[in-house]
Amino acid sequence: MSEKSKLSKALLYAPENGYDRLPESEKAAMHDYCEDYKDFLNHGKTERLCVEYCIELAKKHGFVEFQPGMPLKTGDKVYCNNRGKGIMLAVIGTEPLSRGANIAAAHTDAPRLDLKPRPLYEDTELAYFKTHYYGGLRKYQWTAFYPEGGGQPADRGTLTLADGTVLPVHIGDKPEDPQFIINDLLPHLGREQSKKPLGEAIPSESLNILVGSMPVEDADEKHRFKLAVMQLLHEQYGMVEEDFISAELEAVPAGHARDIGFDRSLIASYGHDDRVCAYAELAGLFDAKAPKRTAVCIFADKEEIGSEGVSGMLSAAFDKFMGELCDTQGVLLRDCFANSFCVSADVTAAYDPNFAEVYDKRNSAFINYGVGLCKYTGAGGKSGASDASAEVVGKLRRLLNEENVFWQMAELGKTDAGGGGTVAKFMAQRNIDTIDAGVPVLSMHAPYETVAKLDCYMTYRCMKAVFEKA
């Protein structure tokens, strides 16, 4: 290398494709990690299922359910289940909680279609479920497709019967299960529909799931098609129509995570946002070696609708868990938070050359360039953002460089092209130094999103490094 080239390399910042830097010895580890991640996706189609599978994995790694007042010592591993929709896990460090904790916070809810409280109806001898969309989805993407590996959508959730019995509902995932679909208008009659703006072409109230067309045999019955569906549901779950009112039923894509590309370098799946970061922090916690500061992993709910409710990051559930950990050491929670460090583990938008007009190419995340660090999110003039300080950015940048974790800085598109948020601002409101970091995603919020295996692996290595050494 010439002196001029050395000077250029020393002074100028030139991000590199990760495959130009990835040691051959790490490729097998990357492959194994991504296979485990795909299993997590396939098990965790909803936030409840993510929590269930997380607990199953945590127990295998020596975690026990935390009980207030239980004695804790260095190396102990505990988890706290927040109403089956969120979970917090901790590995007690060698340093007291007065020195703070290293925290990674992700969310496991994803855009979807929820069934309305009274969803079942019939029209023109067809039976349907009415839905209410959840989160920032694009409605036209949810009509009339049937991907390999499973139909769209599948019904999953929880049903509470009149007598208080709580039942899980999983329909559409197994090969032998029935599938469901949302119809769209044929192009031969869609001339006027095609003239509408993209966001208006599919009205919300037309996202109705086709669930049956075979009537009961009684020709005098007024609701023959609706009743036929209820008979099947009663046989399987013992439910009556009123039980829909005390149910949480979510329609999500049924297809499993699949490798993408001839080289299998990418993964397509429903729910990468934000389960790709949730699993990275969980695996990082499992693999962290003797963390000095207590390491805390969070799966939060409701991020896609503002982190509201008892299972969202605005809930006091996290404060309660951390406060009870602090009580075991006689530490004030406010002192712990003031000295803590948090990575808001959430995805960012990957640069897509097909839609280059909405990206600032110099400040975008690229596929295969590693975990994307975001100093701020928000919209327009950083509205709704948690803007990490130079010291916080520098701390994570230095750590990742020392650990040879591939990373890149990113913004979510051009300044006024749109915007988005994460749980970072809610962690910062607790007086915790916080920065966003996560996997770049193509087709974010679509029924099937795409990520790069290299970026998934580097995000896991980032979380592991944070837990061990931040």
Q: How far is CA 369 from CA 35, 231, 360, 420, 466, in A?
A: 20, 53, 16, 22, 19
Distance of alpha carbon 391 from its chain centroid, rounded? 28
Q: Is a pLDDT exceeding 50 seen at residue 147?
A: no
Q: What is the reported pTM? A: 0.94
Per-residue pLDDT of 427-462, as tens digits, reads 999 999 999 999 999 999 999 999 999 999 999 999
Q: Which pLDDT score, from 0 to 100, does residue 218 have?
A: 81
Asked if 413 contacts 362 with a C-beta cutoff of 8 angstroms, the reply is no
Q: Which pLDDT score, from 0 to 100, does residue 155 have?
A: 55
- Spatial neighbors of 371 by CB under 8 A, at least 6 apart, are 400, 405, 406, 407, 408, 437, 438, 439, 455, 458, 459, 461, 462
Q: Is a pLDDT exceeding 60 seen at residue 149?
A: no
Per-residue pLDDT of 232-255, as tens digits, reads 999 999 999 999 999 999 999 888
Q: Which of 165-174, 252-261, 279-288 has the lowest mean pLDDT?
A: 165-174
Q: Is a pLDDT exceeding 60 seen at residue 2?
A: yes
Q: Which pLDDT score, from 0 to 100, does residue 176 have?
A: 82
Rounded average pLDDT over 160-179: 84
Reply yes or no: is the peptide bond before residue 15 cis, omega within 30 of 0.
no
Rounded average pLDDT over 168-179: 81
Rounded average pLDDT over 300-310: 95
Per-residue pLDDT of 311-369, as tens digits, reads 999 999 999 999 999 999 999 999 999 999 999 999 999 999 999 999 999 999 999 99
Q: Which of 107-111, 152-156, 227-231 has the lowest mean pLDDT?
A: 152-156
Q: Which of 94-98, 133-137, 167-171 has the lowest mean pLDDT?
A: 167-171
Per-residue pLDDT of 46-64, as tens digits, reads 999 999 999 999 999 999 9
% of the chain at pLDDT higher than 70: 97
Q: Is a pLDDT exceeding 70 seen at residue 87?
A: yes
Q: Which pLDDT score, from 0 to 100, does residue 145 have?
A: 60
Per-residue pLDDT of 374-426, as tens digits, reads 999 988 899 888 999 999 999 999 999 999 999 999 998 899 888 888 999 99
Q: Which pLDDT score, from 0 to 100, does residue 5 have?
A: 75
- Spatial neighbors of 306 by CB under 8 A, at least 6 apart, are 312, 314
Rounded average pLDDT over 82-109: 97
For the chain, the three-class secondary structure string (H helix, E strand, C coil) is: CCHHHHHHHHHCCCCCCHHHCCCHHHHHHHHHHHHHHHHHHHHCCCHHHHHHHHHHHHHHCCCEECCCCCCCCCCCEEEEEECCCEEEEEECCCCCHHHCEEEEEEECCCCEEEEEEEEEEEECCEEEEEEEEECCCCHHHHCCCCCCCCCCCEEEEEEECCCCCEEEEEECCCCCCCCCEECCCCHHHCHHHHCCCCCCCCCHHHCCEEEECCCCCCCCCCCHHHHHHHHHHHHHHCCCHHHHHHEEEEEECCCCCEEECCCCCEEEECCHHHHHHHHHHHHHHHHCCCCCCEEEEEEECCHHHCCCCCCCCCCCHHHHHHHHHHHCCCCCHHHHHHCCEEEEECCEEECCHHHHHHCCHHHCECCCCCEEEECCCEECCCECCCCCCHHHHHHHHHHHHHCCCCEEECCCCCCCCCEECCCHHHHHCCCCEEEEEECEEECCCCCCEEEEHHHHHHHHHHHHHHHHHC
Q: Is a pLDDT exceeding 70 seen at residue 181?
A: yes
Per-residue pLDDT of 14-56, as tens digits, reads 899 999 999 999 999 999 999 999 999 999 999 999 999 999 9
In whole angstroms, give the CA distance from residue 126 to residue 114. 20
**In the chain, what is the greatest distance between 2 CA atoms, to the nearest angstrom?**
91
How would you label 48-63 residue by residue, b for 16+ Cβ within 10 Å and e otherwise?
bbbbbbbbebbeeeeb
Q: Is a pLDDT exceeding 70 seen at residue 150?
A: no
Mean pLDDT for all residues in the chain: 93
Rounded average pLDDT over 133-157: 70
- Spatial neighbors of 368 by CB under 8 A, at least 6 apart, are 17, 18, 19, 265, 452, 454, 455
Q: Which pLDDT score, from 0 to 100, does residue 152 have?
A: 45
pLDDT confidence bin for 156, thresholds 50/70/90: low
